[in-house]
Structure 1
Amino acid sequence: MKSLLIYVGIMLMSFYQAQNLPLNTGFSTIPAGAHLKDTNSELSPYIGNYVANFNGNEITLFITKLEDKLEQTGQKNYYMDALIVKYTIKNSSGSLLQDTQNNNLSTSALYSIDIDSIENTINFVYTGTNCNVGFGGIKLKKISSTQISWEYRPNDVTTTADKCPPNLDTTIYLPIIKDLIFTKQ
């Protein structure tokens, strides 16, 4: 009986370890309930606070790492280590235009979804502002130990009356540009 318990314990441990996969695992091969882990520390160099100026606005990115973020799709659920980006945007007079520092992931999400080893970038999904205006993709590329390059491609930059109530701010404050350089603070 004791040897059976040891065997079952070993099998359970090996099953759990088999569910830990590298971040760049292809979506079609990820089993439900798996954990995509940052085994090569590919996310760590991006962690920190970064600042850039664009069109008179100061954008500050606060990038942190979240381990085992639940990723839910229509086909399967799994966990992954991800970078979470919160940000503030101030105009030239210092007035705060947008601040997501206290938002939870369900209200305003900007988080990494995969690593593109060919382009050497980390790809993010952005859920957009109110009514998901600005929903789209963002790419960050590490330029040096203190700089990252930013590219934002929104899927939707407009809103209609039937999509969003008129009293909500649907302005996209994030810079819609390629190759904007952010410097680590």
Structure 2
Amino acid sequence: MKIAYRKTLTVLILLISFISCSAQTLPLYTALENIPNNAHVKDTNNELAPYVGTYKANYGGNEIILFITKEDNKLESRAKKQFYRDALVIKYLVKNSSGTILQDTKNNNIPKIYIYSTKMKSQNSVVLIYSGTNCRVGWGDIYLTKINSTQISWEYRPNDIILDDTKCPQGTDINIYLPETKDLIFTKQ
């Protein structure tokens, strides 16, 4: 009977250890190389919430509207590992001066075009990755800095090359509609 009790206790301890190791929770500032497989990079201090909302700016004759939401437990696969991250997700709408929609990721739900946060740069600054548009044109990084409760500053650093032009059909719209600039102020609506 003591042997059965010890075996049960040993199995229970091993099970608890396995569960606690595989579900490690880490803060948003954790560097990628320090994130183990299956960990959860969690917004424990609610640092992403101030960015959530609808923001507008005008640039180059276009109106840009950002729809920023927070997604908990977003699965991410990077550096040969998978983990979960609480992240900001941006959908956007770009209209020209006559109101014609140039690009709309909010209503069209184009899965190949995405923007989501990958790390906190500081308490008031977040880094996002942008997939680019058709054929991945314009993929790169976006930096948002919280100025105050109603304004964020935008910086977009695109990489303009086409990664795989063999898969980009002739006549495909390869324009970058997001503002390629630094210090553009978006105002919360």
Scaled by the length of structure 1, the TM-score of the pair is 0.88
| 1:155 pairs with 2:159 | yes
Counterpart selection for 1:98 from 71, 96, 103: 103
What amino acid does structure 2 have at the position aligned with 1:55? G
Once the two structures are superposed, residues 70-128 of structure 1 have per-residue CA deviations (whole angstroms, 9 ceiling, x without a partner) of: 1112421111000000000111111111100145574111010001128x410000000
Secondary structure of the structure 2 residue equivalent to 1:143: strand
Counterpart selection for 2:94 from 65, 89, 94: 89
User: Contact 2:136 / 2:162 at 8 angstroms: preserved in 1?
Assistant: no
| 1:137 pairs with 2:141 | yes
Distance (whole Å) between structure 2 residues aligned to residue 177 and residue 149 of structure 1: 10
Secondary structure of the structure 2 residue equivalent to 1:141: strand
| 1:179 pairs with 2:165 | no
Secondary structure of the structure 1 residue equivalent to 2:178: coil
Aligned pairs, how many? 183
Gaps (5+ residues) in structure 1? none
What amino acid does structure 1 have at the position aligned with 2:80? Q
RMSD (Å) for aligned C-alpha atoms: 2.4
Identify the residue that residue 118 of structure 2 maps to in structure 1.
Answer: 113
Once the two structures are superposed, residues 44-63 of structure 1 have per-residue CA deviations (whole angstroms, 9 ceiling, x without a partner) of: 00000000001111000000
Distance (whole Å) between structure 2 residues aligned to residue 91 and residue 159 of structure 1: 27
The alpha-carbon distance between structure 1 residues 74 and 153, as it changes in their structure 2 partners (threshold 3 A), is: same
- Structure 1 position 66, deviation (Å): 0.6
Higher-Rg structure is: 2
Q: Percent identity?
A: 54
The alpha-carbon distance between structure 1 residues 160 and 40, as it changes in their structure 2 partners (threshold 3 A), is: closer
User: Contact 1:157 / 1:172 at 8 angstroms: preserved in 2?
Assistant: no
What amino acid does structure 2 have at the position aligned with 1:176? E
Distance (whole Å) between structure 2 residues aligned to residue 160 and residue 106 of structure 1: 18
Identify the residue that residue 52 of structure 2 maps to in structure 1.
Answer: 47
| 1:127 pairs with 2:135 | no
